Amino acid sequence: MIRISIDAMGGDFGPEVVIAGAAKALERHPDVTFLIYGLKVQCEPVLAKYPKLRDKSVFHECELAVSMEEKPSAALRRGRYVSTMWRSIEAVKLGEAEVVVSAGNTGALMAMAKFCLRTMANIERPAIAGIWPTLKGESIVLDIGATIGADAQQLFDFAIMGGAMARSLFEVDRPTVGLLNVGVEEVKGQEEVKEAGRLIREANLPTIAYHGFVEGDDIGKGTVDVVVTEGFTGNIALKAAEGTARQIATLLRESMSRTLLARIGYLLAKPAFDRLREKMDPNKVNGGVFLGLNGIVIKSHGSANADGFAAAIDVGYDMARNDLNAKIRQDLAIYHARRQPPAGPEAA
């Protein structure tokens, strides 16, 4: 049985979408129980629409909800211990749930998660990992917004954490990992990126296969299972890709409605366009994973619909079922054990 904690008040649409998404996820995962944290007056009428979900859930009334515009420091100061966001995270800390899912304010969620759960031993800074649709299927990109300006050791840590996530999500024994750079040649790029490449290569970990440097177009190609970068670059890449997808969709609609012949062509090609729309739908690949914390936290898009929030729950379910954090700790232990100097004659 997987126990999932839900912040019902997060996102642009609150309980109407969050609870409907949880009901959809329950249909796919009948072995899940939910802990739902929300404002009673808003949540109870919605829960009443989904009797199956209500029977598999425990509702916890909270005092307040964190707004989407609230600054992280203000949200932490005002909402610590009493908000729906804090209490849903705290359920993971207390061992009452394996994973928490929220569509709320990203900065506030990260601040509260770090304060409540703390970072893992030997991890300096957490990362947000996103699932990216590619020509080959899906890949993982991190960091997409948590750590701005990561140094070489932090990029190395991201590679370990991203590899563990790929093993949990894609169920591959040794995922390929690449460092995002301005070229694939070893002499190119910032010193931090080149040093991170050296660290990964020399570590020669059995749990990841280091590919080398990758460029921006390799993300969509699916050249590697895991693309590692720092949060500033990763967030720009994510927003650029989402904007490009919307731009292409708009241009296609305009082109296909321009003439009678174009509309006829659209009708003939509609199945292909439907497949393309489904492949590029952000609601189908929703759910950023906060890596490096002592607990699994999933961030849904704030604008996600019920299908999108259900997809974020799916990601959390897979991370919990495959014991993501145990894999990260195992990989870190292997690396740090190898770094220990060999015992001398005195130790013998």
Could you tell me if 177 and 162 are in contact, meaning their C-beta atoms sit under 8 angstroms apart? Answer: yes
Residue predicted with more confidence, 175 or 241? 175
What angle do the packed helices 152-169 and 324-339 form, to 10 degrees? Answer: 140
Give the CB-side neighbour count of residue 347, counting CA atoms within 13 A.
Answer: 4
Question: What pLDDT, on a 0 to 100 scale, did the predictor assign at position 345?
Answer: 54
3-state secondary structure (DSSP) of residue 323? coil
pLDDT tens digits along 157-173: 999 999 999 988 888 88
pLDDT digits (tens, 9 = 90+) for 304-322: 999 999 999 999 999 999 8
**What is residue 23's predicted lDDT score, i.e. its pLDDT?**
96
Note the pLDDT of residue 342.
Answer: 54
pLDDT at 276 > cutoff 50? yes
What pLDDT does residue 264 have? 80
CATH class of 128-285: alpha beta
Burial class (CB within 10 angstroms; exposed 0-12, middle 13-18, buried 19+) of 55: exposed
- Ranges 160-174, 180-194, 235-249: which has the least confidence: 235-249
Who contacts 104 (Cβ-Cβ below 8 Å, separation ≥6)? 7, 9, 10, 11, 66, 68, 85, 302
pLDDT digits (tens, 9 = 90+) for 9-26: 989 999 999 999 999 999
Strands 296-299 and 288-291: antiparallel
The reported pLDDT for the residue numbered 257 is: 77
Where are the chain's structural domains?
A: 1-123+292-348, 128-285
- Segment 50-63 shows an average pLDDT of 94
The CATH code for residues 1-123+292-348 is: 3.40.718.10
pTM: 0.87
Per residue in 99-138, pLDDT tens?
999 999 999 999 999 999 999 988 988 999 998 888 888 8
187 phi/psi in degrees, rounded to 5: -85, -10
